[in-house]
Amino acid sequence: MKAARFSRFGSPDVLDIADLPDPRPGPGQVRIAVRAAGVNASDWKKRQGLMDQELPQTLGHEASGVVDELGDGVSGVAVGDRVFGLSGEGAAQAESAVLDHYAPIPPSLDFATAAALPSAVETAARALDQLGAGAGHTLLVNGASGSIGSAAVQLAVARGARVIGTAGPANHAYLRSLGAEPVSYGDGMTERVRALTPGGTDLALDAAGSGVLPELIGLAGTPANVLTIADFTGAQEHGVRFSRGDTGRALYVLDEIGPLIEAGRFIPPAVRTFPLADIAEAHRLGEEGRVRGKLVLLVG
């Protein structure tokens, strides 16, 4: 099969499409013929040598496609089913991938949109779980228009929380469509939030890593009420929790997100697609940080 890979660290130019052996599913896993695979910031961090140090490396932890082989003990899914999910092998940007956790693709979604969901919704649900966000809470989401931030907004609204979201003015209408009350980030953010909720917020989630943890602590009252998914150094400096996937994952959300989408209670992110062969261009655009929505590679 063809798969994205790099054999040295560096710029997007180190990426290539290699011929690798077809993967085989283990117990509880399924293999899919990949139709689309999501691209995340962790991909270019790995390529730059900022994470795993072994070489060569494949890429991709989320994908959608058609089941073509079942591992031992798998039930409730059949060859030919459309599914989306997460791969622990980090090799989902390929013609074939093994998924450890998966769910049916909602009928209204195409493969590209389905591939944009797994990492964002799992990260968002995990963060909300760790904060204990739910009905009766006022939650501030910093970076609310990004793929994870927008997922957190909608999942929190579905749980009954009041959500205030920071974003640039161009994204305020979008946040309103998701059920959030928008405020602009930057100087004066604290005052703008307090204009909506004079007593501050109950909880705050940082999905942007933009250096605003002190302001979020001030609004939420204590570092214990703040969690970040994007500012590891700031979390250590200010005593804020940093959410990591190795501390318990919210995999249940893969099964829950489909019904929310079909009921009109969750709007998937916009996607920008690239052929697998153009993965370097996807990395360049992602690193520039100017793409709204999700980058997705199309395979097959």
- What ranges make up the beta strands (E) of 56-134? 57-58, 62-70, 82-86, 96-99, 101-104
Q: Identify the CATH number of the domain in which residue 40 sits.
A: 3.90.180.10
- Quote the domain boundaries for residue 6: 2-117+268-298
Q: Cβ(227)–Cβ(241) under 8 Å?
A: yes
Using alpha carbons, select from 55, 228, 38, 34 the residue that is nearest to residue 127. 228
Please name every residue paired with 34 in a beta bridge, in sequence order, or none if there are none. 65
Query: H helices of 53-209, where?
Result: 111-115, 118-131, 147-158, 172-178, 189-196
Same domain assignment for residues 104 and 146: no
> Do 107 and 203 sit in the same domain of this protein?
no
Per-residue pLDDT of the chain (300 residues; tens, 9 = 90+): 999 999 999 999 999 999 999 999 999 999 999 999 999 988 988 999 988 889 999 999 999 999 999 999 999 999 999 999 999 999 999 999 999 999 999 999 999 999 999 999 999 999 999 999 999 999 999 999 999 999 999 999 999 999 999 999 999 999 999 999 999 999 999 999 999 999 999 999 999 988 999 999 999 999 999 999 999 999 999 999 999 877 689 999 999 999 999 999 999 999 999 999 999 999 999 988 767 779 999 997
Residue at 260 is within a domain:
no
For the whole model, what pTM was predicted?
A: 0.94
Asked whether residue 242 falls in the same domain as residue 127, the answer is yes
Indicate whether 215 belongs to any domain.
Answer: yes
**Residue 93 falls inside a structural domain:** yes
In a domain, 252, yes or no: no
Which pLDDT belongs to residue 299?
A: 97
Give a yes or no: residue 90 inside a domain.
yes
pLDDT of residue 290: 67
- Considering its fold, how many domains does the chain have in total? 2
On whether residue 253 sits in a domain, the answer given is no
Asked whether residue 254 is assigned to any structural domain, the reply reads no
Whether residues 205 and 107 fall in one domain: no
Give 41's strand partners.
Answer: none
Same structural domain for residues 229 and 282? no
- Do the strands 226-228 and 241-242 form a parallel or antiparallel pair, or are they unpaired? parallel
228 with 272, same domain?
no
Nearest to 44 by CA among 292, 276, 297, 282: 282
